[in-house]
Amino acid sequence: MDELFADVLVVGSGNAGLCAALAALEQGARVAIIEKAPKHLRGGNSAYTALYRFAYEGLDDLRNLASIDDELASKMVVEPYPPSAFLEDLLRTSGGRANPALMKTMADESYAVMKWMQEHGLELEPSIDGSREHNGKLHWQPGAVLRPVGLGGGILNALFDAVSRGGGEIVYEAQMIDLVLDERGDVDGVVVKTPNSREDVRAGAVILAAGGFEASPEMRARYLGPGWDLAKVRGTRFNTGEALEVALRHGAAAAGEWSGCHATMVHAVASSVEMGEETLFPLSYPFGIIVDTAGERFTDEGANYFMQTYAKLGREILNRPVGRAFQIFDAKTAHLLKGEGAGQLAYAVPHLTADSVSELAAMADIPPAQFQREIELFNAAVQPGEFDASILDGKHTIGLPINKSNWALPIDSPPFQAFPVECGITFTYGGLLTDVNGQVFDTSGSAIRGLYAVGEIAGTFFSNYAGGSGLIKGAVFGKRAGEHAARN
Ligand SMILES: Cc1cc2nc3c(=O)[nH]c(=O)nc-3n(C[C@H](O)[C@H](O)[C@H](O)COP(=O)(O)OP(=O)(O)OC[C@H]3O[C@@H](n4cnc5c(N)ncnc54)[C@H](O)[C@@H]3O)c2cc1C
C-alpha cells in the first residue's frame, strides 16, 4: 500500500462512510477511505438498498428534489410527512428506547441532507413501484415517495464520483484490524491489513463506517442468540464486525439493541448471502395471511404498512418451527403481489399453486386439517368494509387469537398460492455510543478524542424499524461527523 496521508481517515465505503468523506472534503480536509472489499464488491449493504426515508411538507418539496412532470404530479397524492411525523415513527418503532436527541436530529435534518446529496449528483425519482393506485391516483406509504435513480447502485455511483472529484483517496482490500493510540490514549490512526502488508496509518481523526456484524455467524450467535448463526444474510459478506470489536476493546461504550437486528422475510430459495434482486422483498404479505409449517397464523399481517412491520418479521419466522413460514394469497389479491424496488420480480420465484386449500397444504407439507381450520376461522372473522390496498383501510377481523388489523379479505378464491419464506438478516442494531456529531464515547462517559462512528456501526435502533431509516441515519450523521472531524 502506498503511504497514505489523511486528516480524516474513513473505514468503510458504504453510504455513511462516503457521506462522511464528502463532508470532510468540503471542509478542506485531506481524506482517505480504506475499504475491506475489492473494488468490484465495494459499497457494503448500501449497494442493496432502495430508498432513503426523509421528511417533507408536500409535493413541492419533492419536486424540488426530483424532476416530476405536471401530468405525473396531478396523479400523486402526497400527504405531508413533517419531521415530527418522522420522529414519531422512529420513537414508536423503537418501543420508545431510541435516543430522542439523535432521532430528532435525524428527522429534522433529513430533508436538507437529501438536498445536499442531490447537489453532489444524487438523482431522485418517484418510486412508482412503491405506490398503490386507487381511483386513478397514486398513493405512497408516508416518507417513502422518492427513491434514488438506480437504487443502491445509483447512490454509490453518485457518492463515489463526488468523493473522487473532491480529491478523496480510496484504498480497496484494506481492512482495519486495530486502532493506533497516542501516548494520551487519543486515537491517532488505524492498523490496516492488505493482501501484502500490515501497517499503521496515522490520521488526525478516524471515522468508523464499517457496518454491523450481520455477516459474522459467530457474532450473530453470540449476540442475537441461538439459531441466528444459521440465518440467511441479505447483504454484503464483508460486514463481520471486527471494527466494532476493536473499538469496544479500546473502551468504547455500546449502544443500540445488541440482541436485536433488522431481519425480514426472504424467499426460501434465496441465496445464503448477498441476495439477488429477484429474491428480495416479498412484501405483499399485508394482503394475504402468513402461516407457519403447523398451519397456524402467528402475526398480524396487516398491523401497519409493510414498511413499519417488515423489519421484525424475520425474527418471528426464525422462532417458528424449522424457521419457515408461508405467505398465502388467493386470486383476489394476486395482482397485488409485488416488491419495492424489485417490482414484480419479487414474486416471480418458485412457489406452490393449487385449486383448494387442502391441496395447497399437502403440497406445502402443512397438516391439511389444521390449515383448513385456520382459514375457515380467519374467513369467518373478516368484517365487512371496503378493501383498499392504497391506504390503511381498517378492514379487519374480530375474535381471533391474533387479529388482522387492515386489508382482511377471506381466503376463498382459487387458485391459492403459497410462497415459502425464511428469515433474512439485513443488519444488526448493536453498535457504538455516539453523539449527534458521531463522536464515540467511552464507558465512563467521555468522548474518545479522534474517534467517530457513523452508519450501522453506531448503535441506534431497537426492536423494529421504519423502512428507509438506515440510509438517512448514515447520511445525516455521516455528514455531521465528516464536518466535525475535519474542523477539529
Ligand atoms: C438487502 C438490503 C436492502 C436494504 N434496503 C434499504 C433501504 O431501502 N433503505 C435503507 O435506508 N436501508 C436499507 N438497508 C439497510 C442499509 O443497507 C444500511 O442501513 C446502510 O446501507 C448502512 O450503511 P453503512 O455505510 O453503515 O454500511 P455499509 O453500506 O454496509 O458499508 C460498510 C462498509 O464497511 C466495509 N468494512 C467492513 N469492515 C471493514 C473493516 N474492518 N475495514 C475496512 N472496511 C470494512 C464493508 O466492506 C462495507 O463496504 C438495506 C440493507 C440490505 C442488506
Q: Which atom of ligand 1 is nearest to the CA of 235?
A: 53
Q: Please state the separation of Cα 44 from the chain's center in Å.
A: 12
176 lines ligand 1 (CB under 6 A): yes
Q: Look at 281 and 145; give whichever has higher pLDDT.
A: 145
Ligand 1 near 239 CB (within 6 A): yes
What's the rounded Cα separation, in Å, for the pair 169 and 10? 10
| Residue 343, pLDDT score | 52
User: Does residue 318 carry a pLDDT above 60?
Assistant: yes
235 CB under 6 A from ligand 1?
A: yes
How far is Cα 20 from Cα 55, in angstroms, rounded to an integer? 21
Q: Taking 70 as the threshold, does the pLDDT of residue 339 lie above it?
A: no
Q: Is 216 in the pocket of ligand 1 (CB under 6 A)?
A: no
Q: Does residue 61's CB lie within 6 angstroms of at least one atom of ligand 1?
A: no
Q: pLDDT by residue (tens digit) across 376-394?
A: 999 999 999 999 998 999 9
Cα(300)–Cα(327) distance, integer angstroms? 13
Could you list the beta-strand ranges (E) of 209-279: 232-233, 254-255, 261-267
Which of 4, 281, 471 to mutate to test ligand 1, by most ligand atoms within 8 A of the CB atom? 471
Dist. CA 285–CA 328, nearest whole Å: 8
Task: Name the residue of 11, 49, 53, 432 to mutate for ligand 1: max ligand atoms within 8 A of Cβ.
Answer: 49
- Position with higher pLDDT, 128 vs 413: 413
pLDDT, average across residues 274-280:
76
Q: What whole-number distance in Å separates Cα of residue 395 and Cα of residue 78?
A: 23
The pTM of this model reads 0.95
- Taking the CA of residue 49 as reference, the ligand 1 atom at the shortest distance is 5
Indicate if ligand 1 lies below 6 Å from the C-beta of 12: yes
Helix (H) or strand (E) segment spanning residue 440:
strand 439-441
Nearest CA, atom 5, ligand 1: 49
pLDDT at 349: 86
Grid cell in block for residue 165: 472529484
Region 455-482 average pLDDT:
97
Handedness of CA 142, 147, 152, 157 (dihedral sign): negative
Report how far Cα 34 is from the mean position of its chain's Cα atoms: 23
CB 217 within 8 Å of CB 203:
no
Is any ligand 1 atom within 6 A of the Cβ of residue 427? yes
> What gap in Å lies between CA 450 and CA 69, rounded to an integer?
47
Ligand 1 pocket check for 156: Cβ under 6 Å = no
The three cell numbers locating residue 403? 387479529
Location of C-alpha cell 479522534: 450
All three cell numbers of 424, joined, read 433474512
Calpha distance 427→212 (Å, rounded) = 6
pLDDT attached to residue 1 = 64
